[in-house]
Amino acid sequence: MLEDGQIARRIGGLIETRAGGLRVHWELGPVVLADGHQAKLAFACIVRAVPNENDRKMLAESLLAERPILIVPHVRDYFQATLFPAAMQCLAKMDIDRARSETGKAETITGLMAAGQKLAFGCGLELLPPATLEIDSPTLRQQMLEEAQRQALQRQTQARVEHLQSATELFRQFESLRQASPSLSPGQILARIAPTDQAELLRSLLQASAQKQTAASVIWLAVADALVKITPPAEGSDLKTQLVPVLDTLGPLRSVSLAAAGTLLAGARSGVWVIDVNAPDKLIALPDAQTTSAMGFNRAVGDGAAEERTVIATHSEAGVVAWKIAQPNSVAWAIRGVSAKHLTRLPSGNLLAAVKSQLLCIMPDGINHYLPGDADAEIIAILPLPDSLLIVRANGRLERISSDDFASLGAIDYPEPLAAAALLPWLGSTRVLLAPAAGPPACIGLDDELTTQYRSVYQQLILPAASSQFVAAVTADRQRLVLWPTWDGRQPMVQINVAALARHRITDIAL
């Protein structure tokens, strides 16, 4: 009895054949068609040894002459050289569409079966139906792919054109409303646009606001013994990083902030550095001999000009300390015994700081008093708005107060606990950048209900900062800086491993 895959076998002078035959498959091609396309054929039919004595004798003298067993691969190889030219002859006058049609396949099958039968007749075999034919054209697939890509590009181009037209019309509406109502803030005008168009308009406005800023935003990071200057990538330029060493006489750096006239104020463990951004090696040290804490000055602000300038800084253990630039080695005045943070200068010249859940108002000469209030949630940011102040608390409450008399101007509640907050400037106004205790940074408007999220792979980001061009945040482990363009928070534009560059973690950011 024949085994699987055997068509016939010779045992001595006897020939044993399989009664029903076996199905044999051929791969033929590539064949060039009349229209220049190439085709590869998969042809199959039944091959059977003819069951009579004369045909068995021809089988023995041909295919079984040098082998005792005839299997499918032997038959496939034997017919290959005949079927391939037959396929070329059948398809030479067809284009690809006809070759792939049922009529074209039927004609090709007929031609292949006829050519195969002639060869089979002389070796005791026969080709039987059902015969099948599949035709694949690599050149047609490539043509179809290119056409699909062309159509996709056309759709993308059309979508961009429609988007530009829509954005242009929305921007025209915005400008028209702005001119008609100059007293309204950009957020209030945005809120008057149809709700379905607000998100797209906000994106366009953020992008327009960024493009109006000709100078590239510069990011300053404080690390233990240095400042890191980062210039984000812009059109035609790459990201640039520069490590600026700082003397260690005041201890590790804790904070960095931008002051007037191109000056950086860097809070250290036992004092503050005054640094010229154009000549970072020119430092003025403002030491506080009474500060022995391992903590550092968490925020510093300056006022006045040249030698008359005063620098005031807050410390979670040392309190509030002030220096005159003209007398850098002695403290001008100090408020000890308060855990102060988030120092902010008011238009009146007074200062405001947070002491846990309370606001501390400080006069230029150090006289101070707490503002009345019964909120018990910690203050995480004091943000100066164009016409008021925004007090941000850890429980998500954002309180707007007058910068003159501190009267309440209303409040909104963010639905999540917050870790930090900053301002994002746009069109002469501001939006509020929030860093939730968990989740991506979010940017909200005080006069509209739109929220923009800045997403990344990180579960938590801290130390948010923003310019009209970029949004920045630091990973929770303080090793990396993450940047997005203000108008697109779908994914970061760049991530910088600052810890690998500076050998220390990030303690603060100024943008």
For residue 266, give the nearest of 303, 296, 304 by alpha carbon. 296
Which DSSP helix (H) or strand (E) runs through 48? strand 38-49
Shared domain for 113 and 202, answered yes or no, is no
Tokens of 22: 């076996």
Residue at 430 is within a domain: yes
- How many structural domains compose the chain? 2
CB atoms within 10 A of CB 199: 14
Shared domain for 129 and 192, answered yes or no, is no
Handedness of CA 348, 354, 358, 364 (dihedral sign): negative
List, in order, residues 6 or more apart from 57 with CB less than 8 Å away: 15, 124
* Cα separation, 307 vs 284, whole angstroms: 12
- At 322 the pLDDT is 94
Residue at 121 is within a domain: yes
Number of residues in the chain? 511
Shared domain for 189 and 78, answered yes or no, is no
- Strand-pair partners of 258: 264
Name the amino acid, one letter, at 299.
Answer: R
- At 401 the pLDDT is 94
Residue at 332 is within a domain: no
Shared domain for 12 and 123, answered yes or no, is yes
Last residue of a domain, one of 97, 120, 136: 136
Shared domain for 433 and 493, answered yes or no, is yes
In the block, tokens 């929770």 appear at: 476
Q: How far is CA 142 from CA 27, 30, 44, 147, 304, in A?
A: 20, 15, 26, 8, 71
Q: What's the CATH code of the domain at 117?
A: 3.30.479.30
Residue at 150 is within a domain: no
What domain range includes position 470? 184-216+414-511
- At 191 the pLDDT is 81
* Cα separation, 355 vs 313, whole angstroms: 14
Residue at 98 is within a domain: yes
Predicted TM-score (pTM) of this structure: 0.69
Shared domain for 93 and 202, answered yes or no, is no
Strands 397-401 and 389-393: antiparallel
Last residue of a domain, one of 76, 110, 136: 136
195-212 helix and 138-180 helix, angle to the nearest 10 degrees: 90
- At 413 the pLDDT is 93
- At 261 the pLDDT is 64
For every residue of 154-174, DSSP letters joined together read HHHHHHHHHHHHHHHHHHHHH
Residue at 105 is within a domain: yes
Cβ-count burial of 45 within 10 angstroms (0-12 exposed, 13-18 middle, 19+ buried)?
A: buried
List, in order, residues 6 or more apart from 197 with CB less than 8 Å away: 166, 170
Residue at 426 is within a domain: yes
Last residue of a domain, one of 136, 153, 171: 136
Shared domain for 16 and 103, answered yes or no, is yes
CA torsion 56-61-67-73 (nearest 10°) is: -70
* Cα separation, 55 vs 27, whole angstroms: 27
Which DSSP helix (H) or strand (E) runs through 398? strand 397-401
* Contact predicate 187/429, CB 8 Å: yes
- At 32 the pLDDT is 94
* Contact predicate 298/314, CB 8 Å: yes
Residue at 290 is within a domain: no
Shared domain for 14 and 119, answered yes or no, is yes
Q: How many CA atoms lie within 13 A of 238 on its CB side?
A: 3
List, in order, residues 6 or more apart from 421 with CB less than 8 Å away: 380, 381, 383, 390, 392, 398, 432, 433, 434, 435, 464
Give 10-residue mean pLDDT values along the chain (511 residues): 89 88 95 94 96 91 92 95 95 94 96 96 94 96 94 85 69 78 81 79 77 76 93 77 90 90 88 87 90 91 71 94 92 94 92 94 90 89 92 95 92 94 88 93 90 92 92 95 92 93 94 88
